[in-house]
Structure 1
Amino acid sequence: AAPAVTSALQLLALLQREGRLVDFLEQDIASFGDADVGVAARMVHEGCRKALRGHAKLAPVRREDEGATVTLEAGYSPAEVKLIGNVSGSAPYRGVLRHRGWRAETISLPTPVAGHDASIIAPAEVEL
C-alpha cells in the first residue's frame, strides 16, 4: 500500500508556517548576494528549528563526537549506519564518524480537523 502523506504534508506545512521553508527553497537565490542569503537562511533556520523542536524529539544515532574513531562490529544496523569511503571486506569496520545521524524519538503532529486539505501547505494571502 502507498504510504499516507498527510503527516509529511503536516510537517511541511509547520516548517512553512514557522520558517517559510518552502518559500526559501522555491526562491531562485542565484542572483542574491551572500549576505542576503545569509540573512534569509538565519530566519528560515530559526523558524524551522522552532517548528521541529515543538513537534519532534530527535536524538543522534551515534553518541560519539564527529571525528571520533569508531568500530562497527558484525551485526551493526545498516539502517542506522551508512558506510562511506573505501568500503571493502566485512565487519568489524573501523573508521571515522563523519555524521552522527538522527533518530526520531517522538513526533507529535496536530490532529487534522474535518475537511482539512493537507495538500495546501500554505494558503495564498490576499491583503485587503
Structure 2
Amino acid sequence: MQTAKLGFGARLVMALILPWQVLFNGALAERVRRAIAGEADELPPPAPTPAVADDNDEVTPIPAPVEVVEAAVVEDEAAGPDLTAALQLLALLQREGRFVDFLQENVAEFTDADIGAAARVVHEGCKRGLAEYVRFERIRTEAEGDAVTLPAGFDPARHRLTGNVVGEPPFRGILAHAGWRVAAIALPTLAEGHDASIVAPAEVEL
C-alpha cells in the first residue's frame, strides 16, 4: 500500500508545532523516537480464536474484551496534550524579544539592513528571556566540522543522519550541527484563572 504524503503547508505547520509538543509530552516524544528509529508501534494482542467443540465437548466461553481501558485511551487522546508550558514560552519570547511580532510581520517590505537590525533585537531579547528559565546543553561536544563516528546502537533521537545514508553502522561523517537538548527548565507558576493562550495582550495607550 502506498504511503500518503503530506503537502508542504501541512509539513510546515507540523515543523512549527511538533517540537513544542515533543518537548512537553513524553508519550508523544517516545512515539516520535520510535518512528525515527523505524520501530513499529506495539500492536494489541490478537483476539482469541473461538474454540471448535465436538458434540460431547464443552466450549469454554471467550471473555468479552475489556472496553474500559480502550475508552480511557480515547478520552485521553481527545483531551490532547497540555500546551500551557509551550504557550508560556511563546509569551516569554514575545515579552522579552517581540518574537511573535517579528514572525507575524511582512518583512518583504523592508530592506535587508532593517531586517538584520530587527533580528538582532529579537535575538538578544529571546536569548535573555530563555536564559532565565531554560538551560540548554550541546548533544555533541566536538566542534562543528570535526569527524565523528556513530557506533551501532546509537540513539537516532539524538542524531540525525543526512547526506548519503547507506549500509549499517558504524557511520563516519562530519559534524554539521552539534545539536541541543534541554537540560533544565523551570517556568514560573501561572496565576489561577490566567489564560495562557494570550501570549501578547492588546495595548491601548491613553
TM-score using structure 2 length: 0.61
| Pair 1:125-2:169 in alignment | no
| Pair 1:102-2:180 in alignment | yes
Q: Alpha carbon RMSD of aligned pairs, Å? A: 0.6
Residue 52 of structure 1: how far off its partner (Å) = 1.0
Q: Which fold has the larger relative contact order, with Cα–Cα distance below 8 Å and residues 6 or more apart in sequence?
A: 1
User: What letter matches 1:22 in structure 2?
Assistant: V
User: What letter matches 1:75 in structure 2?
Assistant: G
Which residue in the other structure is 1:42 paired with?
120
* Helix, strand or coil at the partner of 2:107: coil
Higher helix content, 1 or 2: 2
| Pair 1:23-2:101 in alignment | yes
Which of the pair has more CA radius of gyration?
2
Residue 31 of structure 1: how far off its partner (Å) = 1.4
Partner deviation per Cα, 1:78-120 (whole Å, 9 max, x = no partner):
0000000000011000000000000100001010100100000
| Pair 1:60-2:141 in alignment | no
- Percent identity, aligned pairs only, is 59
Higher strand content, 1 or 2: 1
The runs of 5 or more residues in structure 1 that have no matched partner are none
Which residue in the other structure is 1:78 paired with?
156
The runs of 5 or more residues in structure 2 that have no matched partner are 1-76
Q: How many residues align?
A: 128
TM-score using structure 1 length: 0.98
C-alpha separation between the residues in 2 aligned to 1:110 and 1:123? 18
